[in-house]
């Protein structure tokens, strides 16, 4: 019993750490993007101000139970994903519950939040809700295809679905990383990662240059605060997942910070350089190059692995 309580305490501390790390990454990234655009940009602590502002508000608008459960499902997906992966390999309090899940369960948690938000948006009564659901689910499904192929190639390579075992197999230097031993799977995964982070040019579900609707306008008060909290947790969890799968994991907090920030900066760089895709452009793009690379990675390892 004492061991279970200690695990729960460690998990809470780990979640607080990754929440604050995600908030700081979002704030710093907004500053970097603003500088790239020739603007001053908001302060790095702006996400905390926005979160406190949302928490302080109240709303009397009611669209139905499922509408309010959407942000809850979204947050559950982010927390569930993070709790099933090791943030720092070998750390007692940053190992989370990685021993209880595998890659298959992680994939379900990634998609769980999106499905919850789709159900919530469907009950909002907004005339553009169907447009947002179509965009979000089409884009998410398209980006999940090359990611699933990359996971199949990685699982076949290491003969396991355990994320902790995959990280353990990559210890011993950069030559053991999946990046070096399976570059095609890494390339397919990283191209899929661009869409999974939903930053420009793949911010289709928000359509910020097109229609002034979406979760950030339809949800408010504490429900928006839940989504803002999930934004930091979910983004950080996906960064750690990709670090574990392709870049050797991390054995210390500084190593985790450096690796995940560089992975995220890859997404930010692409978003600054390229304009936003249309829905059909995004789906076609993921079903072409990333998917073909993923298929090639699976076939090559099936033949020579």
How buried is 272 (Cβ within 10 angstroms: 0-12 exposed, 13-18 middle, 19+ buried)? middle
φ and ψ of 154, to 5 deg: -70, -45
Q: Look at residue 85 and give its three-state secondary structure.
A: coil
Cα gap 190→259, rounded to integer Å = 14
**CA proximity to 260, closest of 193, 211, 202, 161:** 193
Which pLDDT belongs to residue 275? 72
Which pLDDT belongs to residue 260? 93
Alpha helices in the chain (DSSP H): 2-36, 46-56, 65-83, 103-122, 129-158, 163-169, 178-181, 183-196, 215-218, 221-246, 253-273, 279-287, 289-304
CA angle at residue 231 from 245 to 277, to 5 degrees? 80
Which pLDDT belongs to residue 243? 94
Which pLDDT belongs to residue 210? 55
Which pLDDT belongs to residue 305? 60
**CA proximity to 238, closest of 279, 277, 266, 204:** 266
Angle, helix 103-122 to helix 221-246, in steps of 10 degrees: 160
Which pLDDT belongs to residue 184? 92
Low-confidence ranges of the chain (pLDDT < 50): 212
Contact 116, 72 (CB under 8 A): yes
Find how far residue 209's CA is from the centre of its chain. Answer: 23
Which pLDDT belongs to residue 301? 79
Q: Which two tokens stand for residue 199?
A: 């930053």
Q: Which two tokens stand for residue 25?
A: 């990454």
């Amino acid at each position: 019993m004492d061991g279970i309580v200690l695990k729960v305490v460690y998990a809470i501390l780990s979640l607080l750490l990754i929440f604050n790390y995600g908030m700081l990454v979002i704030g710093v990234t907004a500053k970097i993007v603003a500088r790239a655009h020739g603007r001053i940009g908001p302060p790095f602590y702006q996400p905390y101000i926005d979160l406190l502002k949302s928490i302080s508000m109240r709303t009397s608008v009611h669209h139905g139970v499922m509408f309010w459960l959407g942000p809850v499902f979204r947050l559950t997906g982010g927390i569930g994903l993070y709790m099933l992966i090791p943030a720092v390999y070998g750390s007692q309090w940053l190992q989370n519950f990685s021993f209880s899940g595998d890659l298959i369960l992680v994939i379900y948690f990634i998609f769980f939040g999106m499905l919850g938000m789709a159900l919530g948006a469907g009950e909002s009564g907004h005339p553009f809700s169907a447009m947002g659901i179509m965009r979000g689910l089409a884009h998410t499904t398209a980006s999940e295809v090359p990611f699933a192929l990359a996971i199949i190639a990685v699982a076949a390579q290491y003969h396991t679905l355990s994320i902790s075992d995959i990280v353990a197999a990559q210890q011993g230097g950069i030559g053991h990383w999946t990046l070096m031993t399976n570059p095609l799977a890494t390339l397919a995964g990283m191209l899929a990662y661009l869409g999974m982070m939903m930053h420009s040019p793949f911010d289709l579900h928000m359509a910020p240059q097109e229609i002034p609707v979406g979760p950030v306008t339809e949800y408010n008060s504490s429900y928006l605060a839940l989504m803002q909290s999930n934004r930091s947790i979910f983004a950080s969890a996906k960064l750690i997942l990709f670090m574990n799968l392709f870049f050797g994991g991390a054995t210390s907090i500084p190593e985790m910070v450096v690796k995940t920030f560089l992975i995220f900066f890859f997404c930010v760089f692409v978003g600054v350089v390229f304009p936003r895709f249309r829905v059909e452009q995004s789906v076609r793009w993921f079903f072409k190059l990333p998917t073909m690379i993923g298929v090639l990675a699976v076939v090559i390892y099936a033949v020579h692995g």
